[in-house]
Amino acid sequence: MKVFFLRIYDIYQFSLRFWKEAFLPPYEYKEVFNQFFEVGIKSLSIISLTGFITGLVFTKQSRSSLAEFGATSWLPSLMAIALLRALAPLVTALIIAGKVGSNIGAEIGSMRVTEQIEAMEVSSTNPFKFLVVSRVLATTCIVPVLAIYMGFIGLLGAFVNVYNNEQTSFVSFFQEAFMKITFLDLFTLVLKSAIYGYTIGMAGCFNGYYADQGTVGVGRAANTAVVVSMFLIFIEEMLIVTLINTYR
């Protein structure tokens, strides 16, 4: 129990240090943009594929239920609500947790066990700023962008299914889809994606930064980064939805 609370305290200190270092110069612009590329551009293909299939399959599965009530015309708005309120941020976060979170944990972990982080410290540079701040900033900023992108790609998947069945035009599909979407939905999408991104970055960096016991520790850091961030993402999803629904 004592170890658990000490761990919580370490995480708190780690987060506090992130906020402190993120706003203090010098800034590692180059590394931040490098990480934007690593997290964003390199995840586009998997996000595109997953988003399109999610939209297409979800529409296909929902069609039969709605058809029983003659309500297939609700499909565009149903899909928009499902994708933008829940599926896009959640699925994007889970994919990024698996792809990027594990990568961050393993990369920083192996730098720790091969003394590369200590090498940065003794060469009078700040490894926390270079490794942690840049990665957490990148995941926090890029996950919302990817979630919005996945939302639209998912709607494209939904459109393909709707077009094949009802020959609805592109414009009327999207008009229909966005009729029920409010500013609060888009705000929530961005906010919770940013929180998920922050969680993924912090979980990866924290576990990597404090990795020990050689290669075993690196594997453990990568694994723990994914498990912890996925667990926290679901908890956060529940809390955010509960909170937002009180305003809706």
Q: Which is nearer to another protein, 126 or 223 (CB)?
A: 126
Q: Which residues bind another protein (CB under 8 A)?
A: 26, 107, 110-111, 114-116, 118-126
Q: Which is nearer to another protein, 172 or 212 (CB)?
A: 212
Q: How far is the CB of 151 from another protein (least distance, A)?
A: 33
CA separation (Å) from 110 to 90, 104, 230?
Answer: 29, 10, 22
Largest distance between two CA atoms of the chain: 70
CA 150 to chain CA centroid, nearest Å: 11
Do 179 and 81 form a contact (C-beta atoms < 8 A)? no
Shortest distance, position 214 Cβ to another protein, whole Å = 11
Taking the least distance from each CB to another protein, the nearer of 40 and 51 is 40
Asked whether the beta carbons of 75 and 59 are under 8 A apart, the reply is yes
Q: CB 143 → another protein: shortest distance, Å?
A: 23
Assigned token pair, 81: 């609500």
Considering beta carbons, is residue 48 or 126 the nearer one to another protein?
Answer: 126
In whole angstroms, the minimum distance from the beta carbon of 2 to another protein comes to 15
Burial of 219 (0-12, 13-18, 19+ CB in 10 A): middle
Q: How far is the CB of 210 from another protein (least distance, A)?
A: 15
Which one, 7 or 20, has the nearer CB to another protein? 20
Distance CA 21, CA 69 (A): 56
d(CA 162, CA 204): 40
Residue 43 beta carbon to another protein: minimum distance, rounded to whole angstroms: 18
Q: Which of 213, 207, 90 is nearest to 154 (CA)?
A: 90
Separation of alpha carbons 61 and 65, rounded Å: 8
Of 131 and 189, the one with the shorter C-beta distance to another protein is 131
Task: Note if the bond before 26 is cis, omega within 30 degrees.
Answer: yes
